[in-house]
Amino acid sequence: FEKDDINRLTAYGENLLMSLCMRNGDTYLDLDDFKKHLNKNIGQYLVDEDGIIERLIMHRLAYIEENRIYHISQYDAEIYISKYLAFFPQQHLKEVDINTAQNAISSVQENLAIKYDQDQLQAIMSFYENDLLIITGGPGTGKTTIVKAMIKTSELLYSNYNINLVAPTGRAAKRLTELTGCEAKTIHSLLLWDKETGKFAKDENDPLNVDILIVDEFSMVDQYLFYNLLKACGLLKKLIIIGDADQLPSVAMGTVLKDLIESELFKVIKLDKIYRQKEGSDIIYLAKDIKNEEVTKIPTNNEIRFFECDKTDIKDITLQIVEHALNKYETLEEGFMNVQVLAPKHKGVNGIENLNVALQKKFNPYTKNKRQLQVGYRTFRLGDKVLQLKNQPDDDVYNGDIGIIVEVIFASEDHNNQNRIIADFEGRIVEYTHDTFSNLAHAYCMSVHKSQGSEYPIVILPMSLEYSIMLQKRLIYTAVTRAYKSLIFVGQKEAFFKGIVAKEMSLRKTTLKQRLIDEVNFYEQI
């Protein structure tokens, strides 16, 4: 195509629209702003921006509503989600009277040797009283205890119905399985991602045989993924959504959990009481104080430490702390999977990239006998701790999963003359070639966003004023809640206190909440 070819410019326009929405997590752009971006990027090839926008609409690549322009995927998602939930469910489970439910709960309490308090009992009963239920709360507030009770009582009262548990990431699904004793899958696995078509095999034409669906870590679920999940749930009769509304929103577009809660259309159980009184409870109370803006000082005890230093010393002290933490484990690999450094920003002296280079050099240094492969500016070495950057459903690895490089194969040794990296993601062996190398990064230090859905015994959190606008209350809260035994801050206390009072500079643009309200109001008038 010539540079001014209309088809080329139209394709660029669609890509630009999606990229701009992804940048801030918005589901739409102001039309005038989009025109300015079009003119700035390809204005020298355009007669006028309106012509490209008309073609985007004509080819159903975008949609305009009032002064908003949506990528068609986000517009379709908002429309479908709002209509689906307004009419949900199409069929109901059999009714369970209060006495029968209470007897089932009593039986579960006896079998599990547990005593639910009044708040927990009310939440469990809400499961039987509502077709769509949202449970939100911070760490230690008993979300998993309630979910387990719902599952166990359902096995008694809904024995003929299919119950599925899902989470957005592999680590979150694995953790849910361990905590509930019931198998949980990733959403991608449940929907059967099809590599050949680049789509989910399960949809409205081939729906899931699921009656009750429980979705954990829902704050991580973006609008388009939720849309695809609901498209496959035409037979669904009960939907339970669990998440922490105070965590960071999904990496991709939308604020689905926030929109569902703020619409006030669905039953929401807000858990605030902290039940966990064992190891890690001090971290939970700090998280609660951050959420409620009640932090006056940083507690320092066996679980929480703050090593105060100048920003120029953060890297070296972090290395010392990581070394001490790794020594607690029998093998380096075990230590890598249990000790995690988190940072808010990629660039800078104390950014993720620099810290990864320093941590790799310290804990997996180059030796003549250790194989390594240069990929762009990164050096991947045998034994490296690595991070999956994108979903690869075919290999059952997902954005945020952590693995260890177990083999490096050079092109000269390969029958296809390709360099290869083999990584072990807790038993899932995944092979990478030059087509997928970009899906890997080092994971000695990772972003707070990538850590969502995971918990680590030991979390080390650098605090530097150089992180500037990235230091926000929601980000620090999310980082703190990743630790469940030990939380170690390194750096400037001023950065911590500045961050915990800083709100997001701009809220994500989405119209899902209003669509839900309008759709329900319309449905009620029919």
Structure confidence at residue 46 (pLDDT): 65
Q: Please name which of 443, 447, 403, 400 lies closest in space to residue 421, comparing C-alpha atoms.
A: 403
Is the pLDDT at 196 greater than 80? The verdict is no
Phi, psi angle pair for 202, to nearest 5°: -90, 125
pLDDT tens track for 469-501: 888 999 999 999 999 899 999 999 999 999 998
Give the three-class secondary structure for 466: helix
Per-residue model confidence as pLDDT tens digits over 382-406: 999 999 998 887 888 888 889 999 9
**DSSP assignment of 131-191:** SEEEEEE-TTSSHHHHHHHHHHHHHHH-TTS-EEEEESSHHHHHHHHHHHSS-EEEHHHHH
Give pLDDT, residue 95: 86
Highest mean pLDDT among 1-10, 146-155, 507-516 belongs to: 507-516
Phi and psi, residue 245, nearest 5°: -65, -15
C-alpha–C-alpha distance, residues 192 and 172, integer Å: 18
Give the pTM. 0.88
Give pLDDT, residue 525.
Answer: 76
Per-residue pLDDT, averaged over 1-6, amounts to 75
Sorted by sequence, the CB contacts under 8 Å of residue 391 that are 6+ apart come out as 188, 193, 397, 398, 399
- pLDDT per position as a tens digit, 18-77: 999 998 899 999 999 999 998 887 767 666 778 889 999 999 999 999 999 999 999 999
For residue 276, pLDDT beyond 70: no
| Rounded average pLDDT over 340-354 | 93
pLDDT at 172: 85
Q: Which two tokens stand for residue 90?
A: 């199409």
Predicted confidence (pLDDT) per residue in 98-151, tens digit: 899 999 999 999 888 888 888 888 989 999 999 999 999 888 888 888 989 999
**C-alpha span between 52 and 44 (Å, rounded):** 13
Kind of pairing between the strands at 193-194 and 199-200: antiparallel
Q: How far is 292 from 414, CA to CA, in rounded Å?
A: 57
- 194: helix, coil or strand? strand
Dist. CA 485–CA 298, nearest whole Å: 16
pLDDT(195) > 80: no
Give the number of C-alpha atoms closer than 13 A to the C-alpha of residue 479, restricted to the C-beta side: 28
What mean pLDDT value characterizes the chain?
Answer: 90
Residues pairing with 431 in the sheet: 422
**pLDDT at 277 exceeding the cut of 60:** no
Specify burial of residue 103 (Cβ count, 10 A radius: 0-12, 13-18, 19+). middle
Residue 79's identity, in one-letter code, is I
SS3 content of the chain, % helix, strand, coil (to 5): 45, 20, 35
Kindly give, in sequence order, each residue whose CB lies less than 8 Å from that of residue 169, ignoring residues fewer than 6 positions away: 186, 217, 220, 398, 399, 400, 401, 452, 453, 454
103-107, long-range: CB within 8 Å, 24+ apart, which pairs? Answer: 104/153, 104/156, 104/157, 105/149, 105/153, 107/156
pLDDT of residue 47: 61
Q: Is residue 342's pLDDT more than 80?
A: yes
> E strands within 336-377?
339-343, 372-375
Quote the pLDDT of residue 144.
85
Written as one letter, the residue type at 139 is: P
pLDDT at residue 395, as a whole number = 86
The whole-angstrom distance between residue 314's C-alpha and the CA centroid of its chain comes to: 28
Q: pLDDT for 403-441, tens place per residue?
A: 999 999 999 998 889 999 999 998 899 999 999 999 999
What percent of the chain stands above pLDDT 70?
A: 98
Grouping H, G, I as helix, E, B as strand and the rest as coil, residue 30 is strand
334 within 8 A of 402, measured Cβ to Cβ: no
Q: Are 515 and 259 in contact (CB under 8 A)?
A: no
Look up residue 464 and give its amino acid.
S
**What tens digit of pLDDT does each residue of 208-252 get?**
999 999 999 999 999 999 999 999 999 999 999 999 988 888 888
